[in-house]
Chain A
Amino acid sequence: MSNQLSGLDRVFVELGEWLCGFGDGACMSGYGAYVWLSVLVTVVAIAINIWLPIRARRRWLARQRDEHELRAAQASGDRADA
């Protein structure tokens, strides 16, 4: 059947046939490739949305650490000058 199709459709049908090898739960009546792609894209988007604020917080903390170290270095430099 997949030989009559072209492009993306063929990929989906072949992927669906491959998923059917894992049993009914993965096969989803031959629609497995469509269903699992939707789930995969959603899970990736959820993961990115969780990771973005974590990264932003880490960057803010790194900036604060740099500023604290700079201020501490300046303070010790001032004391040495005095």
Chain B
Amino acid sequence: MIPAAFEYHRPVDVTSAASLLRRLGDEARVLAGGHSLIPMMKLRMAAIEHLIDLQDIDALKGISIDGDTVTIGAMVTQAELIAHEGLAKVAPILREAALQIADPQVRYMGTLGGNVANGDPGNDMPGLMQALGAAFLLTGPDGAREVAARDFYEAAYMTAREEDEILTAVRFTAPPGGYAYEKQKRKIGDYATAAAAVLIGKEGGRVAHASVAMTNLSDTPVWSPAAAKALTGTDCGPEAIRAATEAALADIDPTEDNRGPVAFKRHVAGIIITRAIQRAWSRA
């Protein structure tokens, strides 16, 4: 499988990359780790005249932790997320989720920026970013702007990023309390049949705050404030978890595909959400 021909560019800073993107218009795409884009190009489902490889842009690399503010460069790979001890201390859910993505070889190449910017409902990080209430930093011809992860996803592969913008970093506040990223997949390398990200804060034996989000159960990642509301103030017992799971299931809209019919996906989603809440609570 050989992709169609393209011109290759490897700029060394964001400004050059952004001006290339503006000049070349919709014939150009940026390349991060390439593990979503290259397979699509090989299948000739993506026709790209100009590929702008971001690998030499140092400003897109690195993880910075300033108090409880975490900023992760778009070109940080899943393997780097997993290996970063500082990140594991303040936001261990990143490592837990990244370890469930694809396989080791893909994690060496696949980046956080590519994972969140691609808009594939099967990608795990967008769901997690809903739970965290993260912000995405975008740079375009008119400068930089920030878009809330919860406002970013419009439909499958459709996001708030403009054609001439580059997603440069992800920023969030380190979440206090318990966490879990729970995922069911058919096999290594597959996307989730269902996955859930849950964050829970505990005070005096009760849920002080919660955030619940899901992956691959709609054409965008799903954040469920109703599920969080069903948990808040409770002892996170079986009754509360059942109510929260039901609330979360009311927010999803899965479609039938090779991972199963809708009824099966709803069944799996219910189990995954319940497990994620239980595990997050046990760590709160």
A, B bound? no
Query: What is the interface of chain B, defined by CB distance below 8 A to chain A?
Result: none
By a beta-carbon cutoff of 8 Å, the part of chain A in contact with chain B is none
